[in-house]
Chains A and B, each alone.
Chain A
Amino acid sequence: MTRQPARPRTSGRIDWSAYAMIAPAFAGLAALYLWPFLSTFLKSFQTVPVFGPGRFTGGANYDKLLADADFWGALGNSAKYTAIVLLGIPLAIVLAAMIQQVARGRAVYRVLFFLPVVTLPVAVGMVWRFILNGDFGLLNYALSLIGVPGQYWVADDRFAVYAFAVVGIWMGLGVNLIILGAGLQNIPVDLYEASALDGASRVRQFFAITLPLLSPSVFFVTILTTISALQMFDLVFIMLGSVNNTALSGSKTIVYLFYEAAFVQFKQGYAAAIAIVLLVIIMIVTAVQFAVQKKWVVYD
Chain B
Amino acid sequence: MTSRGAGQWRIHVVLIVAATLMVVPFGWEILTSFKTSNEVASLPPTLFPAEPTAGGFRTFFDKTPFLAQFLVSAGSLILRVAGQVFVAALAGYAFARLNFPGRRTLFACFLLMLMVPSQLFLLGQFDIMKGLGLLDTLPALAIPGIFSAFGTFLMRQAFLTMPKEYEEAARLDGAGTFRTFWSVMLPMARPMLAALAVLTSLYSWNDLLWPLIVAPAGDARPLPVGLAGLQGQFGTDYPTLMAGALICTLPLVVVFIVLQRQFFAGIANSGLKG
Contact = CB atoms under 8 A, between A and B. Distances in A.
B87 interface: yes
A36 B123 contact: yes
Contact of B12 (A8, A37, A105): A105
B208 A131 contact: no
Contacts of B41: 135-136
A32 B86 CA distance: 17
Contacts of B26: 115, 119, 127
Given A36-B125, A234-B209, A259-B209, A19 B228 contact: no
A56 interface: no
A22 interface: yes
A192 B22 contact: no
Contacts of B110: 25, 29
Given A114-B256, A179-B267, A4 B12 contact: no
Contacts of B202: 117-118
A111 B260 contact: yes
Contacts of B231: 126, 238, 241-242
A191 to B, nearest CB: 12
Interface string A218-255: 00110010011011011001100110000000000001
A31 B127 CA distance: 12
A40 interface: yes
Contacts of A268: 123
Given A115-B22, A120-B205, A123-B248, 6 more contacts: A9-B97, A36-B122, A101-B8, A131-B28, A136-B45, A259-B212
Interface of A: 1-2, 4-5, 8-19, 21-22, 24-26, 28-29, 31-40, 43, 95, 98-99, 101-103, 105, 107, 109-124, 126-128, 130-131, 135-136, 138, 141, 170, 173, 175, 178-179, 181-182, 189, 192, 196, 202, 220-221, 224, 227-228, 230-231, 233-234, 237-238, 241-242, 255, 258-259, 262-263, 268, 271-272, 275-276, 278-279, 282-283, 286
